[in-house]
Amino acid sequence: MRADRVFAYGAAAGLLGDLLLGDPRRGHPVAAFGRAAGAVERVLWRDHRGWGALHTAVCVGGAVSLAALAVSSVRPSRTASVALTAAATWAVVGGTSLGREARAVGGALAAGDIEAARERLPHLCGRDPQALDADGIARAVVESVAENTSDAVVGALVWGAVAGVPGLVGFRAVNTLDAMVGHKSPKYRRYGWASARLDDVAGWPGARLTAVLATVAGGDTRGAVRAWRTDASKHPSPNAGPVEASFAGALGVRLGGTLSYGGRFEHRPVLNGEGRSVQVEDIERAVRLSRRVGWLALGVCAAGALLRGRVARRPAQHCGGAS
């Protein structure tokens, strides 16, 4: 079976597996990668960009190489190739777990149990929950759903369409490393620089596709486009900006503002200033929008892979004159 069809069938099966089963309960490959990356860090860590770049190269290169080896070993079997792609897709995407955690926080807020919501929020993002009231928690959840739709679903599908299983695995490796060492703490400001920059590059196409699909799948296309055009560039992240702005416009809510990470405050620009404040019920709306975006992304990426395969197989046309 051709590689483009392997990806299309396997990615669809993997996304369906995520919908039905969520993340693997035990032995999650991403968790195993995180442990391996932590072991490499303990050996290589220096307060230096070069050592951080080596860490990134070893971890991402190792993950991609193992994925390529697995693909090569199952290539003679069409069934095994599709199954491997499905398993890799299921392992690296996290749309169902994202929605489950967001709804858990939303349910606690709806019940008036803000302490339970604060306790659950770290499952979604790294903000200081004690610094947030109910409205702040709801806004943090919607922003996390938007950003992770790109990071946990669409970005992986984009790179899977480009490079198959190694693309899926490589993107998740880059994204995981960024979460581990890419933040601007004193320890990782230099060491995590390469991981953070590589994550920006790898996340660029998925973030733009997520923003486009949010404008299509949301309830206010014009509002989403307007917020994306006017506010995305104000965000400090080149990839979170378009995604969060388009979600804000599509949902008709206002995102951004003051954030707290471990006692360190950041003042983010307001996205979609014409929108209203986030309310608890907007969490469910954001989760549903995220789910629609994920399935649309599967369609776009599968179609792109099939189209690229058809173009690659098209025989070259030669023009020759009489001799």
Q: Does residue 105 or residue 258 have the better pLDDT?
A: 105
102 occurs within a structural domain: yes
Question: Averaged over 60-77, what is the pLDDT?
Answer: 97
Q: Which residues share a beta bridge with 301?
A: none
Say if 140 falls within a structural domain.
yes
Q: Are 205 and 170 in contact (CB under 8 A)?
A: no
Within a domain: 178: yes
E-state strands within 19-113:
none
Residues written for the chain: 323
**Looking at this protein, which amino acid is placed at residue 38?**
G
* 319 in a structural domain: no
Nearest to 177 by CA among 154, 159, 194: 194
Which residues, in sequence order, are CB contacts of 165 under 8 Å at separation 6+?
67, 68, 70, 71, 84, 85, 88
Model confidence over 116-153: pLDDT tens digits?
A: 999 999 989 888 888 889 999 999 999 999 999 999 99
| pLDDT, average across residues 264-274 | 83
Q: Given a cut of 70, is residue 223 above it in pLDDT?
A: yes
pLDDT of residue 278: 96
The mean per-residue pLDDT over the stretch 22-32 comes to 86
In a domain, 321, yes or no: no
Contact 224, 215 (CB under 8 A): yes
| 3-state secondary structure (DSSP) of residue 125 | coil
Instruction: Give 130 or 109, the one with higher predicted confidence.
Output: 109
**Rounded CA separation 277/56 (Å):** 39
**Cα separation of 30 and 9, whole Å?**
22
User: How many domains is the chain built from?
Assistant: 1
Domain that holds residue 227: 3-311
> Does any domain span residue 19?
yes
